[in-house]
Homo-oligomer: A and B are copies of this chain.
């Protein structure tokens, strides 16, 4: 479905801000070619210009831009402008504006300030999208649709309340009895006896029913998806061959991206690691995790890195400039992990507005004689040499489960340790242990196929879906290796506890353990556990478990449960189930993963030898070697390779400068 035979190099381009100085447009074309840019994402926030008053359209400027792009060999990723409505629309139809929890309707302003339910807004969005599709359906520059921009937020208006009630009726099979059971309404006398008693959860109303909050999250996420489907409909009809994307934001929890991904052709996401402030390795690991999440989300299909900055952003409390070279390394990492694009927010800094100090390829000075422009240009040239990477895949025998539904359940439950739940951080920690060993990892949901993996790690998988217990049992029964951690499968999809003790149901047999209690540790208190003769720190929570058949690999060595099992391993039918009863640090994770790797016989994608902070990743036939270590280093090649970027053969010990990278074949 991709329309590209090369790596896309481009970014958000806002010529509409310079409509009064069209000479800037020509300069843009000159500079884009200079920087080896081959794509521009346009019209993201252009509605007020495209439709300056209701039913009055002005596409001429966009025609010109589309033509110019095409003339200059630059593809257009055309955005639908729903992310920010014109002022006249908010003025004429106040219902399109969001209502906050206090019941007060917002005024016009910012972006994504629209009701997701409003029929009028959906109609107006569909109309402008249809206009765009009709006008440019045959334009040769049109390469892809970019739907809206960074969907987010929610609305609490009466229309949304009614839609939520309808959603609940569907989800709970039109049965208040089922809803009351699911929400355990007997607690605090919250039995619902009329659907109209229901509203969105809020501090000034119902704020203490986690199952209701989960329902709301699901409803809001489904509203975004249905809003997206409404936007897409005319595009699918008029331009059936143009692929559709929308851009995701890291692991934003307002939308279940694992669901939304099913509704678009290409997944894209916005990648903004925070370099140069003393946590480069964490940032590199999280970026890698997110890349693999979005690679895995559509079964290994390449994704787009829709946004990144060539220098700084403007929205952090402090926006330190990354070390020169970081930008190119960040971009190459994306490609190594499955991105078919390197795209920027933004091409040119705006003169005014909220993001005028956000980094761009072209600065306010307006010319190309800047460090940033030179780096972008160098990268553009490198990307051209890597077109063979396009559509390349990576095979993983290891998966880490990271699931939006579980993320929500973790957010909303109340008890044990209410601080620092850090689900994302936990997931990245386990992911990164394999990364350090050069082992590619898929990041999957509870719904994905388990059977193709040799090992599945499920960090903090607190809440199950209907079939999760069975899926895990079946996976292990059939020879799989499954590692779970503390608070595994405590609740069902309505955040109701599984009765009969933890882990849920038959998993007590699968893991050969029973968790009697769960201790929680304040930030400044650490327990200890011993594993393989080494002592490790214990944080956050620790299950106090009894081995009932499992082999004890590690034990607590402090507090009143010292001597009780902390790490277990259980042979169950043809497979093995591991349990880590406590929140461990990266140190333990790495040591434990080394054991798993050895036991199970998982192998790395390459035999290139280097240090831990040099990332190695194979994609298709290409091996990417990326120096995130913050210093010059050397890499020991195991055989002769072709260095794609310098076009030479290479072997032996190769120097890799700080922030440098190689692509080998």
Give A8 to B182 CA distance when docked, in angstroms. 35
Residues of B within 8 A of A196 (CB): 91
Interface residues of A in 402-420 (CB under 8 A from B): 413-419
> Contact between A416 and B206 (Cβ–Cβ < 8 Å)?
no
Answer yes or no: A170 CB below 8 A from chain B CBs.
no
Residue of B nearest to A370 (CB): B516
Interface of A, helix, strand, loop or mixed by DSSP = loop
> Contact between A501 and B87 (Cβ–Cβ < 8 Å)?
no
Give A523 to B278 CA distance when docked, in angstroms. 13
Q: Mark A340-370, 1 if CB is under 8 A from B, else 0.
A: 0000000001111111111000011110001
**A500 with B204: in contact, given A187-B354, A321-B517 (CB under 8 Å)?**
no
Residue of B nearest to A313 (CB): B415
Answer yes or no: A175 CB below 8 A from chain B CBs.
no
> Contact between A353 and B187 (Cβ–Cβ < 8 Å)?
yes
Residues of B within 8 A of A495 (CB): 352
Residues of B within 8 A of A140 (CB): none
The listed residue (B48, B371, B416) touching A314 by CB distance below 8 A is B416
Give A385 to B108 CA distance when docked, in angstroms. 62
Answer yes or no: A31 CB below 8 A from chain B CBs.
no
Answer yes or no: A38 CB below 8 A from chain B CBs.
no
Q: Can you spell out 7 A-B residue pairs with CB atoms less than 8 angstroms apart?
A: A49-B191, A53-B193, A106-B205, A109-B207, A319-B415, A319-B417, A363-B516
The listed residue (B184, B366, B416) touching A500 by CB distance below 8 A is B366
The listed residue (B191, B207, B416) touching A48 by CB distance below 8 A is B191
- B-contacting 9-mer, from A12-20, A260-268, A453-461: A12-20
Residues of B within 8 A of A108 (CB): 197, 199, 205-206
**A110 with B319: in contact, given A17-B184, A415-B357 (CB under 8 Å)?**
no
> Contact between A197 and B419 (Cβ–Cβ < 8 Å)?
no
> Contact between A560 and B106 (Cβ–Cβ < 8 Å)?
no
Answer yes or no: A6 CB below 8 A from chain B CBs.
no
Count of A interface residues, CB-CB < 8 Å: 117
Answer yes or no: A100 CB below 8 A from chain B CBs.
yes
Residues of B within 8 A of A201 (CB): 109
**A496 with B414: in contact, given A193-B52, A199-B108, A356-B184 (CB under 8 Å)?**
no
Interface centre among A324, A414, A500, A516 (most CB of B within 10 A): A414
- Given A102-B104, A315-B414, list of 13 further CB < 8 A pairs? A84-B190, A87-B192, A91-B197, A107-B204, A108-B199, A109-B190, A109-B207, A187-B354, A187-B355, A277-B522, A318-B522, A320-B520, A357-B416
Q: How far is the CB of A336 from chain B (nearest CB, A)?
A: 24
Q: How far is the CB of A132 from chain B (nearest CB, A)?
A: 14
> Contact between B501 and A364 (Cβ–Cβ < 8 Å)?
yes
Residues of B within 8 A of A582 (CB): none
